A and B are shown apart, each in its own frame.
Chain A
């Protein structure tokens, strides 16, 4: 079974631009979560989607948004990029939101904002 895939793997943008990252979960998984990883703040939860609905949201500004499609694929969007948005963005999938489920992580998208 294929793992979680994230595209693109690397991305370079300039301040003020917007960016869209994509995540394809493991087949059959309907829950997708997004995390931001930076050296200073570590791993921080962005949001979680299940059955095309956002279930939970972390403490990030409204410039960060996401959505989930009927095939469970998910996208996250960051508008008006800031230098501080440079990070590794990780996507994780699980069969459903039950907290006992293991979350399977993708390799991440490395975003650099210049």
Chain B
């Protein structure tokens, strides 16, 4: 079974600064997807970024980028130029690419990000 670990329960960053959230995972599969979801105080889960394991290039979405280290099974999220609206819980998630797995997501326990002025 796959597991996802987020070892930072809380992080803090000043507005306009850069912060990196860590995520490690354990799997015996070679093909899979990794995601970062954001959950603001409204508790709506919002997809931030997605990485396909077979792609070596790190995914980027505007101010959000990942550092995907497949051999180390590490998947960190970097938020640049942090904004007050980035304050939220961030969840790392894993999804197998194998058929028959129904695209189920396995989540980490989350990192609460505070953004200060």
Q: Do A and B come together as binding partners?
A: no
Q: Which residues of A contact B (CB under 8 A)?
A: none
Residues of B whose CB lies within 8 Å of any CB of A are none
